Amino acid sequence: MRKPVEHPAQRKIAFLVDGDKEKLLVEALARKVIERHRPASQPGLVTIRLAGTPREGVFSLVEVLLTQDYQRFLILFNTGSTSRRRIAYMASEIHEPLVRVRLEDKVSIIPLVPSIESWVLADEEALARAAGRRWTGDVPHEQGRPEDVLRELLGGWGPREQKRVARYLDPERMRGKDKSFDAFVRALQLALGARHLPVSEEREPAVT
């Protein structure tokens, strides 16, 4: 008698992000990473907007999602700062409650330094295509807040511009230029079941 075909168990992954902008960009980039990873089965994904949830209260959301069979959690938050000490403190507010309830091995905490716009600025090719023009020299990353730079380059920085640039973003181009984004990709690959990562990819998400 023929044995029934066994399908791989579906992995369920949750992203916890600050708001709508982060949800849009994280979901778009996660889909591209998953497509390249080619998992045996498509994972179940959900994105939760933290929307002002105190950082120390994030573990309560994780506990709720565990009851819905989510197995891995990627928590991403805008730091608004490039200070190592400040960012470490912000991350500890999330991490310490998770340690107390023994959930830290299911969670990846990814600071966005200073905001998710830094991911977008890491892909100058995508920016040029979204803006429909090229720049002479490098994109002016240091000439203001990242969101202000994008607003100037793209003629706005609302949902329309965010969706447009998301179509062109390339994870491989971005990984080498933004360590926070590289940490996101590695965490997602781990959640998808990657057995190991090349030594060249085993890097800490750096902040300045």
pLDDT of residue 154: 95
Q: ω before 114 within 30° of 0 (cis)? A: yes
The secondary structure of residue 41, as a DSSP letter, is S
Q: What residue segments make up the domains of the chain, in order of their start? A: 12-121+175-201
Spatial distance between the Cα atoms of 143 and 154, rounded to a whole number of angstroms = 15
Angle between helix 146-154 and helix 124-131 axes, rounded to 10 deg? 40
- Residue 119 burial by CB count (10 A; 0-12/13-18/19+): exposed, middle or buried? buried
Is the CA virtual torsion 171, 174, 179, 181 positive or negative?
A: negative
CB neighbours of residue 8 within 10 Å = 9
Spatial distance between the Cα atoms of 137 and 153, rounded to a whole number of angstroms = 14
Give residue 96's Cα distance to chain centre.
21
Spatial distance between the Cα atoms of 171 and 130, rounded to a whole number of angstroms = 16
Per-residue pLDDT tens digits for 9-18: 789 999 999 9
Strands (E), 52-149: 72-78, 107-112
pLDDT of residue 206: 42
Pairing, β 44-49 against β 72-78? unpaired
pLDDT of residue 53: 86
Q: In what order do the strands lie in the sheet with 12-17?
A: 44-49, 12-17, 72-78, 107-112
Token pair of 15 as six digits: 């992203």
Smallest CA-to-CA distance from 169 within 102, 206, 117 is with 117
185 neighbors 171 (Cβ within 8 angstroms): yes
Residue ranges in the chain whose pLDDT is less than 50: 5, 196-208
Tell me which amino acid residue 149 is: V
pTM of the predicted model as reported, rounded to 2 decimal places: 0.86
> What dotted CATH number matches 12-121+175-201?
3.40.50.960
CA angle 185, 174, 106 (to 5 degrees): 15
